[in-house]
Amino acid sequence: MGETSHSFIPRADKGLLDSSNGMRPGVGPNLRRVLANLPSQGLSWAILGGAVSVLSTALAAALVAFGLSGAAGEGGTRKAFPAFLAALAAASLAAAVYDPLRLVTALPALASALALVLLADETGITASRACVLVLVSAAAALGSSAAVAASQGTSVTAPMEAYAASIVAATGGSQSLALREEVGHALFLVRTYWPLAYLASGGLLAASSKLGRDAWLRGRGLRPRRTPLANFDAPLWVLPAFVVGLALSVAASRLTGLPAGIGLAGRNLLAAARVVLFLQGCAVAVGLLKRRDAGVATQAVAVLVAAWLELSFVIVSAVGAVDLVANFRGLPRRRTSVG
C-alpha cells in the first residue's frame, strides 16, 4: 500500500493497513483494510446518517454515531457538535424533499447518537450511563411523537385508543365471558403501559448508536468492551426509582381523587425499574454459577427459570434490589462498563 494511494488517511491510522500490527487486536486484516479505506473524517458519515434518517431511524443512529465518534476522536468532544449540526442540516434537506414531518421523527436518532458520544469514553459506557442513554432516547422518541400528533390535531395516545377501539369492535359481539375478560385485561395493559413502547424504541435507538460507535472503534483498531451478564451491575439510583414507582402505584390504587397520570407514571416507572432489577438478579444467579464452573447451557437454563420466577412471584427483581446494597458477588462498586 503506497503513501500516494492512501494519502487521505492520517498518519495515526496507517497501522490499520498493516496486518501484523500488534496494536490492532480483535480486527481481522480484511476488515482492517476495508475500514482503513473509509474516509477518516466523521463529518461525511454524520451527513450521510442525517440524510437517511427520514427513511430509517435505526440506520441513521448507527451512521451518525459513527460519524460523531470520528469527529470527536479527531478533535475532541467539541468537534462532535458541528458534525451533529451538519447531520441535522442534512436531515432537514432530506425531509424538505421527502416529507417535512419526517424531520421531527428523525430527531430521536440524531439525539441518541449525540448522547452516546457525550456519555461514552474510550473504555465504553457504564451501566448507569447506558440507562441514561436509553432514557434520553425514549424521551426524544416520545417528544417526537407528541409533536407530530399535535401538528395533526391529535394526541400521543390517539393511536393507542384507536387500537383499543379496534379490539372492542372485533370482539364486541362475542358471548364468551372468558373472551370478554381477556379483552378487558388486554385493554387495561394497552392503556396502562403504552409509555413502555417508547422505552423500547429508546432502547433500539441506543443499541443502534452503540453499533455505530463500535464500528468506529474497530476501525481505530480497538476492541469494544463486552461485559458478560455475570458482571452486570445496575446503577444504584434504580432502587429509589423502583420504590417511588411502587409508592405511586399503591397510592393510585388505594386513594381516590388522584390524577390518572400518577398511576400511569407509577406503574410505568415500576415496570421499567423492575426490568433493570431483573437483569441484576439474573446477573447474581449467572455469576454464582460461573464461580462453580457451570456451562453456558446451565446458565441459559438459569436465566429461563429466573424469567419464570419473575413473572410468577417477582422474586428475581427482589434479589436484584437486595444485591444493589448487599453486593453478593463482591463486585467493586465502581459501576462496570457495558460496552
pLDDT attached to residue 72: 87
pLDDT bracket for residue 246 (50, 70, 90): very high
So what's the pLDDT on residue 24? 45
Of 34-43, 89-98, 184-193, give the lowest mean pLDDT range: 34-43
**pLDDT of 34 strictly over 60:** no
Q: Provide the pLDDT for residue 74.
A: 60
- Top-confidence residue, 242 or 178: 242
Is pLDDT larger for residue 207 or for residue 41? 207
More confident residue, 58 or 14: 58
Band of pLDDT at residue 6, cut at 50, 70 and 90: very low
Choose between 29 and 3: higher pLDDT. 29
Q: What is the pTM of this model?
A: 0.81
Model pLDDT for residues 145-178, shown as the tens digit of each residue: 999 999 988 888 888 888 878 877 777 666 677 7
At residue 83, the pLDDT reads 92
pLDDT, greater one: 257 or 171: 257
Distance CA 217, CA 49 (A): 18
The residue that leads in pLDDT, 20 or 60, is: 60
Average pLDDT, the chain: 85
- Considering only 65-69, 126-130, 196-200, 333-337, which range has the smallest mean pLDDT? 333-337
Distance CA 220, CA 15 (A): 9
SS3 track for the chain? CCCCCCCCCCHHHHHHHCCCCCCCCCCCHHHHHHHHCCCCCHHHHHHHHHHHCCCCHHHHHHHHHHHHHHHHHHHCHHHHHHHHHHHHHHHHHHHHHHCCCHHHHHHHHHHHHHHHHHHCECCECEHHHHHHHHHHHHHHHHHHHHHHHHHCCCCCCHHHHHHHHHHHHHHCCCCCHHHHHHHHHHHHHHHHHCHHHHHHHHHHHHHHHHHHHHHHHHHCCCCCCCCCHHHCCCCCCHHHHHHHHHHHHHHHHHCCCCCHHHHHHHHHHHHHHHHHHHHHHHHHHHHHHHHCCCCHHHHHHHHHHHHHHHHHHCCHHHHHHHHHHHCCCCCCCCCCECC
Query: Domain limits of the chain?
Result: 229-326
Residues above pLDDT 90, as percent of the chain? 59
